[in-house]
A and B are shown apart, each in its own frame.
Chain A
Amino acid sequence: EAQVTQNPRYLITVTGKKLTVTCSQNMNHEYMSWYRQDPGLGLRQIYYSMNVEVTDKGDVPEGYKVSRKEKRNFPLILESPSPNQTSLYFCASSLRRGASEKLFFGSGTQLSVL
C-alpha cells in the first residue's frame, strides 16, 4: 500500500530535549516536505526536499533541521524544542512530474513541548 509513515503519532517532551520525528514513504517520490498545522494559521511549510541531499527552507524553518540521505526518508529534527513548537506536524511526499503532482500526507505527529 502506498503510504507516508510518520512516527511517533504523539510526543510530549520538555524544553531543550532534542527530538526527531521520522518520515518514510514507499512510493519512490522525489519530493518530500514538512508542515506544521496550527489553529487559525492553516498549514505552513517548514522545509522541503527536491531529492536526495537537496533541501530548502519553507516559510517557518527557524528551530528545525532536516536531512535527506535516502530517497525514502526525511526526518525532522528539533535540536532544542521550545513551547512555541507545540503543534501538529505533517510530512508529505509527491512525484514532481506535472500531471502526477499530488501531495501524499502522513497521519500527523502531535507534539507538545512543556
Chain B
Amino acid sequence: AQSVTQLDSQVPVFEEAPVELRCNYSSSVSVYLFWYVQYPNQGLQLLLKYLSGSTLVKGINGFEAEFNKSQTSFHLRKPSVHISDTAEYFCAVRRTTTGTYKYIFGTGTRLKVLA
C-alpha cells in the first residue's frame, strides 16, 4: 500500500529565511509526485509536480522540489519566504499505472511565516 509522510505538522519560519518542507513516500511501484498549497478558507492549488525527467522541479511562487528516488523523498524548498506563503502544504502521490487514479495525500504541513 502507498503512504505519504509529512514529518512536520507545523513549521514556523521568519520572513526572508529559507524553508524546507519534508515529504517521504512509500510505494512498491513508481509514482507521480505533487505538492499542493491551501490558503486559509480556500481549496487546494497545485504548486508543482514530478512526472518524469529532471528530478529538480520548479513551481509557482518561487518553490522547488527535488525527487530523490533512493530516499523516496520529495522535499519542497523555497530560498526566501514571504508572509503571503503562510498556508498549509500537502504532498501527494499517484501510481503511474495506467487507469489508476487514486491520489494519496499526506497529513499536511502548516507553514507560518513570521515578520
Question: Which residues does A use to contact B, with CB under 8 Å?
Answer: 4, 31, 33, 35, 40-45, 48, 50, 56, 58-59, 90, 92, 96, 98-99, 101-103, 105-108
Asked whether B63 is an interface residue with its Cβ less than 8 Å from the other chain, the reply is: no
B44 touches A40 (CB 8 A): no
A92→B36 CA distance, assembly (Å): 12
Residues of A within 8 A of B45 (CB): 105
Also in contact, A103 and B107, with CB within 8 A (given A43-B90, A90-B44, A108-B43): no
Once the chains bind, are A41 and B102 in contact (CB under 8 Å)?
A: no
Partner of B101, one of A31, A105, A107: A31
Inter-chain CA distance A99–B6, complex, in Å, is 25
CB neighbours (8 Å) of A56 from chain B are: 102
Residue B112 at the chain A interface, CB threshold 8 Å: no
Answer whether residue B74 sits at the interface, using C-beta atoms and an 8 A cutoff. Answer: no
- The answer to whether B43 and A101 have CB atoms under 8 Å apart is no
Given contacts A90-B44, A107-B42, A108-B43, contact A99 B105 (CB under 8 A): no
Q: Does B83 contact A (CB under 8 A)?
A: no
A103 touches B108 (CB 8 A): no
With contacts A40-B107, A42-B90, A99-B51 known, is A105 near B102, CB below 8 A? no
